[in-house]
Structure 1
Amino acid sequence: MIHRSGGGTMTGNKWLLLLLFIGSQARASLLPSASGGGSMELGLVRGHSWSVEGDGGPKLELTREVLRHDVNRYKMIISAKHRRESAPMTRRKAWEEDYLNGNAWMEAPMTAGRDYGIGEYVVQVKVGTPPKKFWLIADTGSDLTWMRCLYDHQQPRGGHRPGVLLPAKSSTFATIPCSSHTCKVDLMNLFSLSRCPIPSSPCAYDFRYMDGSFAKGIFAYETISVDLTSSGPKKLERMLIGCSEIIKGQTLQPVDGVLGLANSEYSFTARAAREFGGKFSYCLVDHLSHKNLSNHLTFGSRPQSRSPLLGDMQYTKLVLGRPLNPLYGVDILGISVGGTILGIPVQVWAPNSGGGTVIDSGTSLTLLAAPAYRLIFGALEASLSRYKKVDEKLSPLKYCFDSTGFNESLIPRLGIHFKDGAVFEPQVKSYVIDAAPGIKCLGLLSVSWPGVSVIGNILQQNHLWEFNLAKGKLGFAPSSCIYI
């Protein structure tokens, strides 16, 4: 059992916010917006702790940090899965039918986080009135959108940094009383605290992370401004946010907060998607890209000309709801290496048999249940063994080698086959990764069975991913992700 401050325990899906910075959250019915469909884009910047020294590749010590975060994050996914399996099922019919179609779309810059020294991608949003820019981690595993904030002070102590929300200077900031049903019941699974000095006191939260990091603050409603490509600026009013006044932890320091993109009633996705046709998409630039190379997080129907595709768009079913809720699951049939389907037990891919697979923007590497990992490694080992194996103590990465003379054309292609016929073939560089100058590793991790497998953001790079929540399907296609 994981404990939180305030004397309570974390139950239900409170685990999800713990996932954010340890390598990165139930679902409810959503009502259609009166404004109908549309679209928006938010720019993605890769926030990645695989920072490089000159042109030599990622720093070794930061590679170790990413590994530590991914492993800790996975432990939380597994421990929470058992609790979610007995949780009540939310209404699915409303989720599938409540969205409206539209032609407008909303976008915002999104880049790799390499230059921020973290393991996720970062997106720019504008919060408050007048609007102020914030760089937030784009996390498909988080319910809550929160940012650095100073509620109790008119001015920041010790000066004013750009990425701090000042409620006293925003005309649209509104707190949630701690005595309200919203605080005591609705936000219980988002770490709301039971303390309530007086009925009008703000509803407080206290996030505690596995690595000792934490964020404390209050819940509020605030306006988030976005730029519509079709009709100019648009305001998303009364968005639930977290105003975090106290933040501790190395991973939390380089950015201004988190953009919650989970399959959840209170996430940014829930509000933005239902206003823009029930879908969102992103195209992840190479994970070692600098922050001057960006693409966009888009809500609505994004013109393909923005990031030209290098192949046909394929579609597969999104597995939403219990027991993977509020993460985004996919229905895998099997995995091939060099065109040959491996004999991985079908239970590995079945959520109700101890397995299942999720696609996650907040995990860097791809984690595979042990039965799948063993067969995949065995199929790749012959092509990797031609290079000199090195021991840089990069556990749990099991195979690293001297990359001198490396030729990726000699590495068999990996294929993820979905039950409905779609096949995802990542680039070789997405699973044979740079770990340090002159060193490459098989960028797949083995996790215990039974257990959920996770498709991380490095494997997703250089592809467009479209999450169509209205129709319950996931689209993907190869792309340079160079924004035009």
Structure 2
Amino acid sequence: MALKRPSSLLSPIIFFSLVSHLCNFDTRASATGVLKVQHKFVGRNRTILDLRAHDSRRRGRILASADLPLGGLGLPTDTGLYYTQIGIGTPSNSYYVQVDTGSDILWVNCISCDRCPKKSDLGIKLTLYDPKRSESGSLVSCKESFCASTYGGELPGCLANIPCQYSVMYGDGSSTTGFFVTDNVQYDQITGDHETKQVNASVTFGCGARQSGDLGSSSEALDGILGFGQSNSSMISQLASSGKVSKVFAHCLDSIHGGGIFAIGHVVQPKVKTTPLVPNQPHYNVHLKAIEVGGAILQLPTDLFETGARKGTIIDSGTTLSYLPEEAYKPLMSAVFTNHQDLSFQTIQDFLCFQYAGSVDDGFPAVVFHFENSLSLNVYPHDYLFQNEDNVYCIGFQNGGLQSKDGKDMFLLGDLVLSNKLVLYDLENEVIGWTEYNCSSSIKIRDDKTGAVYTVGAHILSSAQRLEFGIKILLFLLTVFISCLAH
């Protein structure tokens, strides 16, 4: 039996196509930008096994720290779940890069790359970056401040003519190595309500010289990865440190109509309540305090929400499903099905499924995750129960204890619970928050130099319809908007 896409749930495994670009600024005017995104599996049939396998790879990478032997810096990184077409160089060439909120650096495959993919099954044309052919491109020496700050100090044996190198090892065994360069990156700047113009910014990024594992495969190949994480080497951190952008961004993923919004900058509408980020964590972790099912708080061990070095609960809009430790998963499932003892369960491609003829929203309880600072995340039955064929539903919550040894104690909330919400990441104040929202509408973002407020609406490049597992994956598009401070 092939699992189908539920009509009310956001696309499983979302790699989107963000089409565009980051910030450079005219000091005389305010600056904002626009990015367009596309679903990774456009026109490709995908089974539930593909989706689960993707989540498995992503979670493995989240749990791993990047190995940067030259400077000893660990970059925790994971698979990019979005891809964007950005312009790099002078003259500009286009590159498709995964946009990854869990990793930090931007890197693209270099002209001299060994074992880089030559073609992609995603239907895009791959391009190798050649810094020598760009008038604005330059190599970064290990003597330069960017290299020293990235590695926490000057590298042993460094000479002025030695490039600053990078090496990232992922949890699934794939890796990328190369050297840093600086060049122009182009993007569409918003100049008013729904108005844009193309500008560029100087950014330091990696020139990939060798790839291995999935990164060298043609099945899901792109030109590189655009890290959207918290470290000083990330794109947003570079722009923020130069005073050009706010270190604040938000996304809103619309699972009902398709499309959505992704913004860098201060969102003034809607208002978003926040909870503190757990300090000294590589990902966006928050303090989960309790889980409520049908109005009753689950009785769980008090120390369950914080285990080992990775404190808190990971908020990850790229991972499709949501994972809970077995000690939380079993009580949660018991409470969800307490009024349905007569249901007969079956396993469909490792998912627990059952037949049900009524409305799941009427027949099953809502699940509420309670976080520090009294912030709640509501998950409705149509979110955590997705439909497979007529009257057959499968459970989106997953038992982390059955997934991997490293992930058995981890709480990870993916797009299963984050869709149809505006999720705000405020790295300036070290908080994260969300509010239920119509992601096909618009938000308002503020230019902090002029005080101007712009309306940014969701943009759909092509008709996006609800997706079905095993039959077809239709186009799912987002428009991503960037609001930047003029400097």
Q: Deviation at 1:70?
A: 4.3
The within-5 A match list for 1:348-359 is 348-350=304-306, 355-359=311-315
Matched, 1:479 2:437: yes
Which one of 204, 207, 224 corresponds to residue 243 of structure 1?
207
The within-5 A match list for 1:340-355 is 340-350=296-306, 355=311
Greater RCO, CA 8 A, separation 6+:
2
Q: Deviation at 1:385?
A: 5.8
Indicate conservation of the 8 Å contact 1:136/1:255, yes or no.
yes
Amino acid at match of 2:238: R
Q: Deviation at 1:261?
A: 1.3
2:80 and 2:237 mapped to 1: Cα distance?
24
Indicate conservation of the 8 Å contact 2:360/2:381, yes or no.
no
The within-5 A match list for 1:28-427 is 39-47=32-40, 53=45, 58-73=46-61, 75-76=63-64, 120-151=81-112, 161-178=125-142, 183=147, 185-188=148-151, 200-230=161-191, 232-237=197-202, 239-250=203-214, 253-273=220-240, 275-286=244-255, 293-302=258-267, 304=269, 313-322=271-280, 324=281, 326-350=282-306, 355-382=311-338, 387-394=343-350, 399-402=352-355, 407-427=360-380
After superposition, the Cα gap between the structure-2 partners of 1:411 and 1:280, relative to the gap in structure 1 and judged at 3 Å, is same
Q: Deviation at 1:383?
A: 5.7
Higher mean C-alpha deviation, range 420-429 or range 160-169: 160-169
1:169 and 1:436 mapped to 2: Cα distance?
53
2:149 and 2:413 mapped to 1: Cα distance?
30
Indicate conservation of the 8 Å contact 2:80/2:99, yes or no.
no
What secondary structure sits across from 2:86 in the alignment? Answer: strand
Amino acid at match of 1:423: S
2:278 and 2:182 mapped to 1: Cα distance?
27
TM (norm. structure 1) is 0.67
Amino acid at match of 1:177: S
After superposition, the Cα gap between the structure-2 partners of 1:410 and 1:403, relative to the gap in structure 1 and judged at 3 Å, is closer
Q: Deviation at 1:124?
A: 3.8
After superposition, the Cα gap between the structure-2 partners of 1:473 and 1:71, relative to the gap in structure 1 and judged at 3 Å, is closer
Q: Considering fraction of residues, name the structure with more strand.
A: 2
2:382 and 2:62 mapped to 1: Cα distance?
23
Higher mean C-alpha deviation, range 423-432 or range 160-169: 160-169
1:43 and 1:303 mapped to 2: Cα distance?
22
Matched, 1:446 2:439: no
What secondary structure sits across from 2:337 in the alignment? Answer: helix
What secondary structure sits across from 1:149 in the alignment? Answer: strand
The within-5 A match list for 1:450-461 is 451-461=409-419
2:232 and 2:376 mapped to 1: Cα distance?
31
Q: Deviation at 1:435?
A: 7.3
After superposition, the Cα gap between the structure-2 partners of 1:157 and 1:370, relative to the gap in structure 1 and judged at 3 Å, is closer
Matched, 1:464 2:422: yes
Indicate conservation of the 8 Å contact 1:43/1:294, yes or no.
no
After superposition, the Cα gap between the structure-2 partners of 1:472 and 1:215, relative to the gap in structure 1 and judged at 3 Å, is closer
Q: Considering fraction of residues, name the structure with more helix.
A: 1
After superposition, the Cα gap between the structure-2 partners of 1:161 and 1:120, relative to the gap in structure 1 and judged at 3 Å, is closer
What secondary structure sits across from 1:62 in the alignment? Answer: helix
The residue aligned with 2:8 is: none
TM (norm. structure 2) is 0.67
1:319 and 1:280 mapped to 2: Cα distance?
14
Amino acid at match of 1:359: I
After superposition, the Cα gap between the structure-2 partners of 1:473 and 1:187, relative to the gap in structure 1 and judged at 3 Å, is closer
What secondary structure sits across from 2:338 in the alignment? Answer: helix
Q: Deviations over 1:17-63 (max 9, x none)?
A: xxxx9x99xxxxxxxx99698543433334369x874xxxx513313
Identical counterparts, % of pairs: 22
Indicate conservation of the 8 Å contact 2:110/2:207, yes or no.
yes
Q: Deviation at 1:66?
A: 2.5
1:135 and 1:434 mapped to 2: Cα distance?
33
After superposition, the Cα gap between the structure-2 partners of 1:158 and 1:374, relative to the gap in structure 1 and judged at 3 Å, is closer
The RMSD of aligned alpha carbons is: 4.3
